[in-house]
Structure 1
């Protein structure tokens, strides 16, 4: 069985406050690109995970990968041998590990079904994992695990993901947030939320990785919208056409990582 771990992007990400538990209260518009890591699964006597691909060396402990942890959290009558092609950069604001975990949930669902409490199991793995299980555009509140529907008028929009090949851990970026609540997400369909929203983590991320500003400057030329995703350092750009997207991709420095696709439903 084959499954894609769809890249997650935050079309908008508003940080509202620091919580007493150490986490942050968020409002975000999750979107997913129709490309990402690739997983192959086959029945096995016991669970196995093999990782290859460009970014596989960045995963020092395969069984510390939350895709492997997801497999361990889901009851089944037989083991699964998973092969993961790691094409999404690690620590990049794309929910790469969360996307892998979400794909594992979908594989197990297709083969064995999921337990009724799967959302709670997913949330324990990471704040992005519940959204990544369905991999459909939605709103996230709380730490990002409280999901609700949104009118998706952006399905099929051409999108380009670009990373300067600098990993960026989430913790230091949140620690650099200035603590100022600049207001909630706007109301309306996804297109309005994306256009009028913001990413409150852009400034602290740029302070740690100045190359993010270079990527955004390059993407804003010809894009309908360019913004950093999550805690960075990956940025995305939305275009009016695939031709515009592909022309922009061809003009970027070759040393930057990039992935082209379209927004999923």
Structure 2
């Protein structure tokens, strides 16, 4: 079996308040790129995980990552031997580990079906995991696990992802947030929300990682994008375009200017 762990981006991310349980109340518009990590698997006597790829070294313990945890969360009669090709940067605001776990859930669903409480099982692995199982545009609320539908008029939109190759942990970014509630997610279609929305974590993240500001500036200077923003808690930034040629031209300029940056050109699902 083969599954793509689709990269997650936040087209808007509004932080409303800090909850009593220590988490933050969020309102976000999730979208997914048609590329990401790749998982392949075949039936085996017991579960196993092998990690390869450009960013495999970023996982401290491949046997304790979210792929292994997702396998453990879904008991089955037979095991799965999974190879994870880690193409997405680690700690990059792309939901990489959550996307990997979501791909495992889809594999198990195809083979055996999922238990009725799969959302609860997924949420225990991470707030973004339920969203990554379905990997389609929707609104996330609460810690991100609660969901609402939205009119998706962004399918097929060209997108360029750029990361300065600097890992950025989520915890310190939330800790650096100033605590000011700047208002709810706007109403409308996915495109309207993306155009009017914001990412409340951009400023604290940019304060911790100088490369974010540099990436955002370069994406704006290349021109052609109707939306430039940081995803999640960073450090990956993205630009949305009307046409593929605009995206590809921007990707070429940025790759020439900073060949050390990581880039990914794709489309929204």
TM-score (norm 1): 0.99
Out of 228, 253, 256, the position equivalent to 2:261 is 256
SS state at 1:43 partner:
strand
List structure 1 runs of 4+ shifted beyond 6 angstroms. none
Q: Offset at 1:118? A: 0.2
Q: Offset at 1:75? A: 1.7
Q: Deviations over 1:162-220 (max 9, x none)?
A: 00000000000000000000000001100010000000000000000011011001112
Indicate whether 1:237 and 2:242 are aligned.
no
User: What's 1:11 paired with?
Assistant: 11
Q: Deviations over 1:210-258 (max 9, x none)?
A: 1101100111222111000000000010011110000000001111001
Distance of 2:64 and 2:198 partners within structure 1: 32
Name stretches of at least 5 consecutive residues in structure 1 with no aligned partner. Answer: none
User: What's 1:225 paired with?
Assistant: 227
Q: Deviations over 1:47-80 (max 9, x none)?
A: 0100000100111111211111000000211000
Distance of 1:64 and 1:208 partners within structure 2: 27
User: What's 1:56 paired with?
Assistant: 56
Q: Deviations over 1:72-91 (max 9, x none)?
A: 00021100000000000000
> For structure 1, which segment, 188-197 or 213-222, has the greater mean C-alpha deviation from structure 2 after superposition?
213-222
User: What's 1:185 paired with?
Assistant: 185
Distance of 1:61 and 1:210 partners within structure 2: 28
Kindly report which structure 2 residues correspond to 1:167-182, keeping only aligned pairs within 5 A, or say none. 167-182=167-182
Distance of 2:20 and 2:173 partners within structure 1: 18
Aligned length: 264
Kindly report which structure 2 residues correspond to 1:192-231, keeping only aligned pairs within 5 A, or say none. 192-220=192-220, 221-231=223-233
Indicate whether 1:247 and 2:242 are aligned.
no
User: What's 1:92 paired with?
Assistant: 92
Distance of 2:148 and 2:109 partners within structure 1: 21
User: What's 2:105 paired with?
Assistant: 105
Kindly report which structure 2 residues correspond to 1:31-180, keeping only aligned pairs within 5 A, or say none. 31-180=31-180
SS state at 1:166 partner:
coil
Distance of 2:193 and 2:64 partners within structure 1: 35
Distance of 1:59 and 1:211 partners within structure 2: 22
Name stretches of at least 5 consecutive residues in structure 2 with no aligned partner. Answer: none
Distance of 1:75 and 1:68 partners within structure 2: 12
